[in-house]
């Protein structure tokens, strides 16, 4: 069997920690789904439809790294099949940063500093070219930290390999780890894998909680 686990909304969780955005921190502390919350706050609704949540996902992931209105409009169409006018894109963008003001302040700090290097939350250094966009700096902090946490999880799996002998990683894809094991070992592997992934990432992004989604099957299909 294949036991597949991926971090839930990890880029948003890392950004919440880096930016110290109180609205995002409070949401994750409550266990809220940030896509649903964004739709509720920006659209003024209580019950969120699939289409509204899809728009919220485009907003959360599209604007996380400082994308402008024009870029967001193209991103929403290309990645989520959400069609917007430029005025709508700009309006949603402004509403998003009003909902998460500390995220905007983090973007502004990075732009002012225009630093030649970035440091992940695991203290990994990356040099930034002077002509790179500030979105590269923002992206490096978040995705770099995510990569660090994932590699630390693999290290913990190796250190704790005696807990699930015979189980071994076969794929690591973005924020997902896939373990192959015999069928009757799947339940214990789920716990083993989840704990390693949480233990690796949690110290990096505290106080934001880490969530891992796990499935078991005979095949793997990438998103």
Question: Could you read off the pLDDT tens digit of each residue along the chain, which spans 223 residues?
Answer: 999 999 999 999 999 999 999 999 999 999 999 999 999 999 999 999 999 999 999 999 999 998 999 999 999 999 999 999 999 999 999 999 999 999 999 999 998 888 889 999 999 999 988 767 788 889 999 999 999 999 999 999 999 999 999 999 999 999 999 999 999 999 999 999 999 999 999 999 999 999 999 999 999 874 4
146, 10 contact by CB (below 8 A): yes
pLDDT of residue 133: 74
Two tokens, residue 208: 């934001």
110-143-23-106 Cα dihedral, nearest 10 degrees: 0
173's enclosing H/E stretch is strand 168-173
Asked if residue 10 has a cis previous peptide bond (ω within 30° of 0), the answer is no
6's enclosing H/E stretch is strand 2-7
> CA–CA separation, 41 vs 99, rounded Å?
7
> CA–CA separation, 172 vs 122, rounded Å?
19
pLDDT of residue 130: 74
Q: Is the pTM value of this prediction over 0.85?
A: yes
Whole-number Cα distances in Å, 11 to 45, 48, 94, 147: 25, 22, 21, 10
Range(s) within the chain of domains with CATH label 3.30.70.370: 1-9+122-218
Two tokens, residue 22: 């109180």
Two tokens, residue 15: 């950004």
Length of the chain: 223
pLDDT of residue 220: 85
pLDDT of residue 134: 84
Backbone angles phi, psi at 132, to 5 degrees: -70, 150
Whole-number Cα distances in Å, 177 to 127, 158, 183: 28, 13, 17
38-39-43-44 Cα dihedral, nearest 10 degrees: -80
Whole-number Cα distances in Å, 205 to 10, 13, 20, 105, 211: 10, 7, 10, 18, 12
**Fold of the CATH domain 1-9+122-218:** Alpha-Beta Plaits (3.30.70)
Q: How far apart are the first and last CA of the chain?
A: 19
């Amino acid at each position: 069997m294949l036991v597949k686990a991926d971090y839930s909304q990890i880029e948003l969780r890392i950004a919440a920690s880096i930016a110290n955005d109180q609205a995002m921190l409070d949401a994750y502390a409550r266990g809220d789904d940030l896509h649903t919350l964004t739709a509720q706050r920006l659209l003024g609704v209580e019950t969120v439809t699939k289409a509204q949540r899809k728009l919220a996902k485009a907003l959360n992931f599209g604007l996380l790294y400082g994308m402008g209105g024009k870029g967001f409009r193209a991103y929403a169409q290309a990645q989520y099949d959400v069609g917007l006018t430029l005025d709508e894109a700009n309006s949603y963008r402004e509403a998003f940063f009003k909902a998460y003001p500390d995220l905007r302040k983090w973007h502004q700090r990075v732009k002012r500093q225009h630093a030649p290097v970035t440091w992940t939350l695991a203290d990994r250094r990356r040099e930034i070219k002077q002509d790179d966009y500030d979105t590269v700096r923002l992206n490096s902090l978040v995705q770099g930290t995510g990569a660090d946490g994932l590699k630390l999880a693999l290290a913990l799996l190796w250190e704790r390999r005696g807990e699930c002998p015979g189980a071994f990683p076969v794929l690591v894809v973005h924020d997902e780890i896939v373990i192959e094991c015999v069928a009757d070992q799947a339940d214990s592997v789920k716990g083993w894998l989840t704990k390693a992934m949480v233990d690796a990432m949690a110290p990096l992004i505290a106080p934001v909680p880490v969530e891992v989604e796990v499935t078991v099957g005979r095949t793997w299909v990438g998103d």
